[in-house]
Structure 1
């Protein structure tokens, strides 16, 4: 089931405690562009199918990454792309967006997503996995 754009942004706005939907959207665009660079094949396509269309397109046309970034470097990359961000605000942004993505993905797809990512992303998605 695809989340409607407004519902997706409203979830992100609430979780990230953003003042406005455009602020939530800016952060979502950056985080999804970075995430898209880390996912491949069916997993990326299936996740895109569960996101609102404009966010799906961002996921499918990501920023390029030579290698999957460990979670801490993913956060630093987010800082670099969001104007005025700090590591603390970027962690907040990433958490708000990826937890919303995790809800849209559902447990099975999220499990497949986490298999494509370096260890530690489960925490960024707000779904700590047993060790």
Structure 2
């Protein structure tokens, strides 16, 4: 069952403490476009199926990444795409969006998604994995 647009953005807005839904939406678009470039196959399709349609399409038609970005570089890339962002605000943006994505996805799918990503993304998703 996919998450409704309003519910998804409300959750991102609340976690990111954004003053407007527009800010939450901008963060979500950037983070999902970058995330989509890191995922392939069934995991990406399943994750998209649990997101609101607009965001699902962004995940499925991502910005091309030349190589998988480690979490720090993912945050830097997010900062580069959001006007006026710093690495600090981008860390916040990334965490706000990805933790809501993790909630929408559920534990099992997020575990599979994390296996496709470089180490350290568990923290961005707000799902610290035991070492």
Normalised by the length of structure 1, the TM-score is 0.99
Structure 1: stretches of 5+ with no match in the other structure: none
Residue 113 of structure 1, CA deviation: 0.3
Please name the residue that 1:35 is paired with: 35
1:101-120 superposed matches below 5 A? 101-120=101-120
CA distance in 2, matches of 1:67, 1:44: 17
Residue 51 of structure 1, CA deviation: 0.1
Q: CA RMSD in A?
A: 0.4
Structure 2: stretches of 5+ with no match in the other structure: none
Normalised by the length of structure 2, the TM-score is 0.99
- Tell me the alpha carbon deviations over residues 70-124 of structure 1, each in whole angstroms, 9 at most, x when there is no partner: 0000000001000000000000000000000000010110000000000000000
Please name the residue that 1:46 is paired with: 46
Please name the residue that 2:122 is paired with: 122
Residue 15 of structure 1, CA deviation: 0.1
Residue 67 of structure 1, CA deviation: 1.1
1:1-131 superposed matches below 5 A? 1-131=1-131
